[in-house]
């Protein structure tokens, strides 16, 4: 297509803006109906595709030459003749000229024929204004239709379809009527004419005179330009000018139906109906199938009150276009008059079957179906009228959806059609023509009966047989496509989506603008979950006709399912722009809102949308396909808003409507869990497993329920079954990994770490993303495999350089490895990503780093930033208070502890103990003891305040007997728990009894402590093998050995501490416990000054370590002595 024409057709200046091109195309598309103006539609589509190609940079150069030289002198010489023929109007329209060209040796010789054909096709891409007789000459030689599929491999499908259309159809413009210079630019004239006609068809008359002038300046004449002037005059009711033009055209172009038709239109507008009718009859003599002339003759006879003749013409019109609503409505009016006539005739001849059938057809066509059936009741048709009787009765019952009654009549009708002989009469020809349609109606009956009678396979088999017969018998292409479309729909009904797609592909290969094929194929693609194909067919469908809502619904659902919510909303917006709305689109909007709206107010608004849609459903159950989905959405909204009873009511409604949908049961189970009805939920899941034994979602959620009921083995079993059914289920791998990780932390048995690692690896085998690398990195961190942990965190950052948690965790590993500068760098990166994610960790861990480095003020700043970001998080206040105590800013520390106390719902005793300890460190004994008492009262099962009071009395007050009272009280609380607090209680009692020289008592608790280690960990060695806290545990054991005066064992433990990696949560630059153990050993050797130096170093780091304060105090006493 020539470049200038591209932009003329689109009504654009030359541009590479694809959005402008697309917008211009859509605006033009509204004005071009592919059925009324297939030529204009194909031209518009071609211009759009060429413009897009240019915009994408594939067409940089102007087309200056009419054809591209090949370098082969024989071909080039022949193409020169082709070009000369095309440029001469008289030769262009002469089929003899083209026959000479295609009979040239260049087109028949083996070495040049293929290249000649290719060159000609390339030429025709931009030079295609040829009459049908010329296209047929080219078809006879080159067999374009026969080789269509082969040609589409090298040329665009649209271009080849265009050629086929030109071969099969007359060109709209009668090119023999051109007057002008032989070599004038007739293509430019034709292009400008079609643009003009398009404007007049669209009633766009603004500046129309200038368009006429531009065309006339080409110095070419064609009578159709005068026809367009006539049409403009009629639109402006300038009948004088219209008559003047019509008279000239009617006189000179008596054989041209386009000129005659609008000449007749002038007479019609002037109410000279008889004169107009004469012209319409002249048209029908020239073109017996002229649709518009027949329609006008039907109108004419209606005005003349000759209803029988009027109906004859309407029937002929509807035989060509059965869905012409204007003709149908007009015929109904005709029928109303005919019914009155037939009633009078029946009064005179009540047994006249012919009259009854004619009247019955009037009832049928006017959709008075019950009246028609009543009229036919009790009739026994004779042979002459039998075919019409069975036709009428069968189709009337079919229209009433009474398929059982319709079927025997339709089968009889088919038998009679097969027996009709083509005797040349118009009536019998019309009956024979109905053979395809009769088979089609029978197929429709069998399809419907298949569902009504639940004989799916048998009846659908019959339906397909009759559809095949209909397709074979049908001569009319449009009707055959209707039958093919019905066949595609039938395949959809029985879920044979691939077969449906094949049929739609076949239809579209014949007519790429056939709208129903896109609709059916889109639905088949949707059923097969071919998302991209659904979207492609959506755009194809709405480019043809944007006024049907179903394509929008399916496209929006695809985007919903793949979580592209913005794209789904764009589809809904497009529907709204085309004044389309549906319950399905509203439901999709509700689903998107549930995923994207977070606040309570937004959810309340969404519930109102649900209630509004539910009101529509109650008025019309067909508003949405599955009402249960609306109840399901409402249940989820109520669940999110913690309105559990309302949620349960809605999910019960959903289950009642669709008891086979397991998702609804899962939500019900979730509601039970949320209500704390764990046993009921557990029972419910067990029942679900029976009904859906191989459903991964059911098994997964059941596993979750079992885990929450602390039935861990049962949970593992179900998560394992999920992986057997769906090995790539990442969440199931994650849950199993977490269970084994928890067991590893509880038991510290390496076998559980290894099992957890297997499933962490499996997660990454399925999907390598930053989340799963962090997940495995945290597992490595739990096992203190720090290098591997760091490697995973670095991989996560390679995949997502903005992942806050990867930076934070990498910083945590660097801190453990005592590479504090690198740790701070990582934490700073994490802090920079806080806008995207929410977490207390970056500032919290950065604060710990500053604590370790002795930069307490910077640590305070970090914790205060966390408080500002997360004012409801108690741990942020606690972190700030802890460092302020180290800095001896006790009043500020108490203030932050009080904030945490006021915000906490479950840790009152804990924070009261923290305040008590702070007051004691500040030397405010009364306040400290008062708050310890409050802490004890707040939670009588909490041993911490008792232990801390005991330590205070032992180390600070120097009252070991009073300390013993509190240590024993703490022991009584913990003795049945058998955990780390129990072990600490034993240690405190060993220390106190040892100090009081009650070795037998100390030995008792020593034995209990060792028994605890043996039973819980498998002995002291395994207890200290746990790497994350190995130094702390070596110290715990070492102190017990020291207090039991087992100094060699104590020394061994203290010395091992020096070769350990720091404890996971250590806040100190060095291991103070290791240094404290070393000082104790120095004291045993009498090296008091060296011991004192070590105690002082610890005190300089943290002045509030109670054991160190005690040691320094005792050394001062020794020095005084």
User: Who has greater pLDDT, 473 or 251?
Assistant: 473
| Amino acid 63: pLDDT | 40
**Which tens digits make up the pLDDT trace of 550-598?**
999 999 999 998 889 999 999 999 999 999 988 899 999 989 988 888 7
pLDDT category at 244 given cuts 50, 70, 90 is very high
Question: In the predicted model, what is the mean pLDDT of residues 824-841?
Answer: 87
Whether the predicted pLDDT of 12 surpasses 80: no
Ordered DSSP codes for 330-395: HHHHHHHHHHHHHHHHHHH-TT-HHHHHHHHHHHHHTT-HHHHHHHHTT----HHHHHHHHHHHHH
Cα separation values, 636 from 521, 593, 608, 619, 633, Å: 33, 12, 14, 24, 5
Please choose, from the candidates 1027, 1072, 1074, 1071, the residue with its C-alpha nearest in 3D space to the C-alpha of residue 1052. 1074
For 1113, half-sphere exposure in the C-beta direction (CA atoms, 13 angstrom radius) is 13
Q: How far apart are CA 432 and CA 427, in angstroms?
A: 9
Start and end residues for every CATH 1.25.40.10 domain found in the chain: 668-749, 1019-1121
Structure tokens at 222: 């064609």
- pLDDT per residue as tens digits for the range 693-716: 888 988 998 998 899 889 999 999
Give yes or no for a contact between 480 and 436, defined as CB atoms under 8 angstroms apart. yes
pLDDT of amino acid 16? 72
Least confident of 35-44, 251-260, 1046-1055: 35-44
What confidence tens digit (pLDDT) does each residue in 965-974 have?
999 999 999 9
What distances in angstroms separate CA 504 from CA 399, 472, 510, 785, one per listed residue? 26, 17, 10, 60
Give the pLDDT score at 889. 94
Q: Which of the four pLDDT bands, split at 50, 70 and 90, describes residue 446? A: very high
Q: What is the pLDDT of residues 894-953, one digit of tens each?
A: 999 999 999 988 889 999 999 999 999 999 999 999 999 999 999 999 999 999 999 999
pTM here? Answer: 0.60
What whole-number distance in Å separates Cα of residue 1090 and Cα of residue 1078? 10
d(CA 358, CA 364): 10
Four-way CATH pick for 668-749: 3.30.1300.30, 1.10.600.10, 3.40.50.620, 1.25.40.10: 1.25.40.10
- Measured between alpha carbons, how far is 155 from 166 in angstroms, rounded to an integer? 16
pLDDT of residue 1082: 94
Residue 1014 confidence (pLDDT): 92
Average pLDDT over residues 827-847: 88
> What is the per-residue pLDDT for 35?
45
- The average confidence (pLDDT) of the chain is 89
Tens-digit pLDDT profile for residues 326-354? 999 999 999 999 999 999 998 888 888 89
Q: What is the CA radius of gyration of the chain?
A: 46
pLDDT tens sequence across 1066-1092:
888 899 999 999 999 999 999 999 999
C-alpha separations of 810 from 288, 665, 779, 1062 in Å: 86, 42, 13, 16
Q: Which of 568, 660, 596, 585 is nearest to 630 (CA)?
A: 585
Interatomic CA distance for residues 424 and 437, integer angstroms: 20
Point out which residues pair with 220 in neighbouring strands. 180
Q: Which residue did the predictor score with more confidence, 409 or 728?
A: 409
Alpha-carbon gap, residue 191 to 43, rounded angstroms = 10
Closest CA to 242 of 218, 217, 276, 215: 276
Report residue 780 as tokens: 């490595």
Instruction: Give dist(CA 1029, CA 748) in Å, integer.
Output: 11
Res 66: pLDDT: 63
Instruction: Report, as an integer, the average pLDDT of 622-631.
Output: 85
- Of 53, 17, 249, 302, the C-alpha closest to 159 is 53
- Taken in order 243, 249, 255, 258, the sign of the CA dihedral is negative
**H-type helices in 767-819, by residue range?**
770-782, 786-799, 804-816
Tell me the C-alpha to C-alpha distance, in Å, between residue 992 and each of 938, 983, 986: 27, 14, 10
- Judged against a pLDDT cut of 90, whether residue 484 lies above it is answered with yes
Per the listing, tokens 């991209």 go with 532
Phi/psi-derived region of residue 179, left when phi > 0, alpha when psi is between -120 and 50, beta in every other case: beta
The most confident of the ranges 92-106, 138-152, 454-468, 1107-1121 is 92-106
Token output for 787? 């290098």
d(CA 785, CA 782): 8
Share above pLDDT 70 across residues of the chain, in percent, rounded to a whole number: 96
Residues 196 and 24: their CA atoms lie apart, in Å, by: 17
Q: What DSSP designation does 1062 have?
A: P
Q: What is the pLDDT of residues 111-130, one digit of tens each?
A: 888 888 889 998 998 899 99
| Stretch 40-50: mean pLDDT | 69
CA dist 233 and 226 (Å) reads 10
Average the pLDDT over 525-545 and give the result.
93
pLDDT band, very low/low/confident/very high, at 304 (cuts 50, 70, 90): very high
pLDDT tens per residue across span 411-433? 999 999 999 888 888 888 888 88
| Residue 1021 CB partners (closer than 8 Å, separation 6+) | none
pLDDT at residue 454, rounded to an integer? 64
pLDDT on residue 1121: 46
Residue written as token pair 């060296």: 1090
Determine the Cα–Cα distance for residues 1050 and 1038; give it in Å rounded to an integer.
4
What pLDDT is attached to residue 666? 84
563, 532 Cβ separation under 8 angstroms: no
Higher local confidence (pLDDT), 905 or 371: 371
**Helix intervals (H) in 996-1070:** 999-1017, 1020-1024, 1030-1043, 1047-1057
Give me the CATH code for the 1019-1121 domain, please: 1.25.40.10
* Range scoring the smallest mean pLDDT among 81-95, 309-323, 956-970: 309-323
- In sequence order, the 6+-apart residues with CB closer than 8 A to the CB of 953 are 959, 960, 962, 963, 966
CB 310 within 8 A of CB 291: no
Q: Tell me, which fold does domain 583-657 have in CATH?
A: 1.25.40
Contacts of 229 by beta carbon, 8 Å cutoff, 6+ apart:
212, 241, 245
pLDDT of 19 strictly over 80: no
């Amino acid at each position: 297509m020539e470049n200038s024409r591209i932009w003329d057709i689109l009504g654009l200046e030359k541009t590479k803006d694809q959005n402008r091109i697309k917008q211009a195309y859509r605006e033009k598309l509204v004005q071009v109906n592919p059925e009324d103006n297939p030529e204009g539609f194909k031209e518009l589509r071609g211009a759009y595709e060429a413009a897009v190609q240019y915009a994408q940079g594939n067409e940089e150069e102007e087309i200056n030459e009419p054809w591209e030289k090949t370098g082969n002198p024989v071909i080039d010489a022949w193409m020169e003749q082709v070009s000369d023929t095309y440029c001469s109007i008289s030769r262009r329209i002469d089929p003899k000229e083209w026959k000479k060209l295609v009979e040239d040796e260049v087109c028949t010789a083996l070495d040049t024929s293929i290249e000649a054909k290719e060159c000609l096709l390339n030429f025709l891409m931009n030079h295609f204004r040829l009459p049908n007789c010329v296209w047929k000459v080219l078809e006879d030689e080159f067999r374009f239709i026969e080789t269509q599929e082969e040609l589409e491999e090298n040329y665009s499908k649209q271009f080849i379809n265009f050629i086929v259309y030109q071969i099969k159809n007359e060109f709209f413009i009668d090119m023999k009527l051109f007057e002008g210079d032989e070599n004038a630019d007739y293509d430019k004239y034709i292009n400008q004419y079609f643009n003009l006609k398009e404007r007049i068809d669209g009633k766009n008359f603004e500046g129309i005179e200038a368009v006429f002038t531009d065309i006339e300046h080409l110095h070419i004449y064609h009578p159709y330009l005068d026809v367009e002037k006539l049409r403009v005059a009629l639109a402006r009711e300038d009948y004088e000018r219209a008559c003047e033009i019509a008279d000239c055209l009617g006189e000179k172009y008596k054989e041209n139906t386009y000129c005659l038709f609008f000449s007749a239109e002038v007479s019609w507008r002037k109410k000279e109906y008889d004169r107009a009718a004469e012209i319409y009859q002249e048209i029908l003599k020239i073109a017996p199938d002229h649709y518009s002339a027949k329609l006008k003759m039907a109108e004419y006879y209606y005005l003349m009150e000759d209803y029988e003749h009027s109906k004859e013409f309407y029937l002929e019109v509807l035989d060509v276009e059965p869905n012409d609503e204007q003709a149908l409505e007009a015929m109904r009016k005709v029928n109303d008059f005919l019914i009155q006539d037939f009633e009078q005739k029946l009064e005179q001849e009540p047994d006249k079957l012919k009259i009854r059938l004619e009247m019955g057809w009037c009832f049928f066509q006017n959709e008075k179906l019950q009246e028609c059936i009543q009229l036919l009741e009790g009739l026994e048709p004779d042979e002459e009228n039998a075919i019409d009787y069975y036709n009428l009765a069968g189709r009337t019952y079919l229209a009433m959806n009474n398929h059982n009654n319709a079927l025997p009549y339709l089968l009889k009708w088919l038998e009679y059609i097969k027996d009709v002989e083509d005797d040349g009469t118009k009536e019998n020809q019309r009956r024979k023509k109905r053979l395809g349609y009769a088979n089609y109606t029978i197929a429709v009956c069998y399809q419907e009966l298949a569902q009504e009678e639940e004989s799916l396979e048998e009846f659908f088999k019959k339906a397909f047989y009759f559809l095949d017969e209909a397709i074979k018998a049908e001569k009319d292409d449009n009707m055959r496509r209707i039958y093919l479309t019905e066949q595609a729909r039938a395949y959809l009904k029985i879920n044979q989506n691939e077969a449906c797609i094949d049929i739609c592909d076949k239809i579209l290969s014949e007519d790429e603008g056939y709208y129903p094929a896109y609709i059916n194929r889109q639905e088949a693609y949707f059923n097969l979950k071919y998302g991209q194909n659904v979207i492609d067919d959506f755009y194809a469908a709405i480019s043809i006709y944007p006024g049907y809502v179903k394509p929008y619904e399916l496209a929006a659902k695809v985007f919903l399912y793949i979580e592209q919510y913005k794209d789904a909303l764009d589809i809904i917006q497009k529907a709204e722009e085309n004044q389309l709305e549906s319950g399905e689109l509203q439901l999709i909007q509700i689903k998107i809102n549930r995923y994207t709206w977070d606040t309570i107010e937004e959810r309340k608004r969404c519930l109102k949308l649900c209630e509004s849609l539910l009101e529509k459903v109650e008025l019309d159950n067909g508003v949405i396909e599955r009402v249960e989905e609306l109840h399901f959405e409402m249940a989820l909204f109520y669940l999110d808003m913690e309105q559990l009873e309302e949620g349960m009511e809605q999910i019960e409604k959903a289950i009642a409507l669709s008891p086979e949908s397991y998702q609804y049961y899962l939500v019900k189970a979730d509601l039970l869990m949320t209500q704390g009805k764990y046993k009921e939920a557990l029972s419910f899941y067990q029942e679900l497993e029976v009904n859906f034994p191989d459903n991964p979602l059911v098994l997964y959620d059941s596993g979750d329920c079992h885990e929450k009921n602390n039935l861990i083995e049962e949970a593992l079993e179900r998560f394992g079954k999920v992986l057997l059914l769906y090995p790539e289920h990442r969440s199931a791998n994650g849950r199993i990994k977490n269970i084994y990780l928890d067991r590893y932390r509880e038991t510290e048995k390496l076998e559980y770490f290894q099992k957890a690692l297997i499933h962490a690896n499996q997660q990454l085998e399925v999907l390598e993303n930053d989340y799963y690398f962090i997940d495995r990195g945290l597992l490595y961190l739990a096992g203190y495999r720090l290098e591997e942990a760091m490697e995973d965190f670095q991989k996560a950052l390679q995949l997502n350089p903005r992942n806050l948690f990867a930076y934070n965790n990498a910083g945590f590993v660097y801190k453990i490895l005592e590479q504090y500068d690198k740790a701070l760098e990582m934490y700073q990166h994490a802090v920079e990503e806080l806008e995207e994610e929410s977490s207390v960790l970056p500032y919290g861990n950065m604060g710990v780093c500053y604590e370790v480095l002795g930069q307490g003020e910077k640590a305070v700043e970090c914790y205060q930033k966390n408080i500002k970001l997360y004012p409801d998080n108690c741990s942020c206040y606690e972190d700030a208070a802890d460092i302020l105590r180290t800095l001896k800013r006790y009043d500020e520390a108490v203030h932050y502890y009080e904030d945490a106390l006021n915000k906490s719902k479950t840790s009152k005793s804990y924070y009261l103990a923290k305040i008590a300890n702070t007051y004691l460190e500040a030397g405010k004994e009364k306040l400290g003891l008062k708050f310890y008492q409050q802490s004890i009262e707040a939670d009588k099962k909490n041993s911490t305040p008792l232990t801390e009071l005991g330590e205070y009395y032992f180390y600070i007050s120097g009252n070991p007997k009073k300390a013993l009272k509190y240590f024993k009280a703490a022991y009584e609380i913990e003795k049945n728990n058998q955990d780390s607090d129990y072990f600490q209680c034993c240690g405190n009692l060993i220390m106190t009894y040892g100090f009081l020289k009650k070795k037998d008592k100390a030995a008792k608790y020593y034995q209990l402590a060792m028994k605890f280690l043996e039973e819980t960990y498998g002995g002291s060695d395994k207890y200290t093998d746990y790497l994350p806290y190995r130094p702390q545990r070596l110290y715990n054991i070492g102190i017990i050995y020291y207090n039991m005066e087992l100094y060699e064992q104590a020394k061994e433990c203290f010395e091992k501490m020096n070769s350990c990696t720091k404890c996971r949560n250590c806040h100190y630059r060095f291991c103070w416990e290791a240094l404290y153990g070393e000082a104790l050993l120095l004291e045993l050797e009498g090296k008091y000054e060296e011991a004192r130096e070590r105690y002082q170093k610890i005190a300089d780091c943290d002045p509030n370590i109670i054991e160190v304060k005690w040691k320094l105090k005792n050394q001062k006493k020794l020095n005084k002595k």
